[in-house]
């Protein structure tokens, strides 16, 4: 079980990236509303970039676990990969909604000491706990039944719903951003 635990730990480090995509834009947020590029394209690019970074971190965590504890069982690797296929789009879909409804400005110079949106932080941690809890429940049930391969189709079914939700959110982000344009601009441009 060290592999899924290491991957979950890697996932927690990306919470702020997933749930506040536009936080580092600052005054540049105005450019998004003036340019012909849809917000959907911007968020999709950010989602892809964050996904690649997370996959690299998850692979590094897997390699370190394998070096330290030995190669994990094939069923555990497949179940962990299937859980990631569920967890990643779930985080991206929720993160896109949170980025548009509860953004907060990130000051790169004070990233460790700044206060962000408390509602964003609380809800993002609850969402992470929910995704991790679903994964832990499926892993525990399969472990109890003695068949870790059973987790793979369960996670893939959950992943299908997560991917559908993510694509649906992406389809609606332009309307969401235009409805909250003034709030986004004022929140992300504010100086402290």
Backbone CA torsion sign across 55, 110, 187, 185: negative
Please state which of the ranges 125-139, 149-163, 172-186 shows the lowest mean pLDDT. Answer: 172-186
* Cα–Cα nearest to 47, from 97, 109, 82, 95: 95
pLDDT per residue as tens digits for the range 70-110: 888 888 889 889 999 999 999 999 989 988 888 777 666 65
**This prediction's pTM:** 0.83
Please compute the mean of the pLDDT values over residues 140-163 and round it to a whole number: 92
- Select the highest-mean-pLDDT range: 9-13, 18-22, 163-167, 188-192: 163-167
Number of residues that make up the chain: 192
pLDDT band at 114 (very low <50, low <70, confident <90, very high): low
Residue with tokens 């702020």: 16
């Amino acid at each position: 079980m060290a592999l899924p635990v290491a991957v979950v730990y890697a996932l927690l480090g990306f919470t702020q990236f997933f749930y506040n995509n536009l936080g580092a834009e600052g005054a540049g947020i105005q450019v998004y509303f003036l340019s012909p590029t849809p917000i959907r394209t911007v968020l999709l690019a950010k989602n892809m970039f964050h996904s690649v970074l997370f996959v690299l971190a998850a692979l590094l965590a897997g390699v370190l676990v394998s070096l330290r504890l030995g190669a994990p069982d094939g069923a555990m690797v497949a179940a962990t990969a299937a859980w990631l296929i569920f967890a990643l789009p779930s985080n991206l879909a929720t993160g896109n909604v949170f980025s548009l409804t509860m953004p907060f400005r990130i000051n790169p110079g004070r990233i460790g000491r700044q206060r962000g949106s408390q509602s964003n932080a609380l809800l993002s941690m609850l969402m992470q706990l929910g995704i991790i809890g679903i994964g832990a429940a499926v892993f525990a049930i399969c472990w109890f039944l003695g068949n870790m391969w059973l987790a793979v189709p369960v996670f893939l079914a959950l992943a299908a719903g997560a991917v559908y939700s993510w694509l649906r959110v992406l389809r609606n982000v332009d309307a969401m951003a235009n409805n909250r344009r003034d709030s986004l601009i004022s929140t992300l441009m504010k100086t402290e």
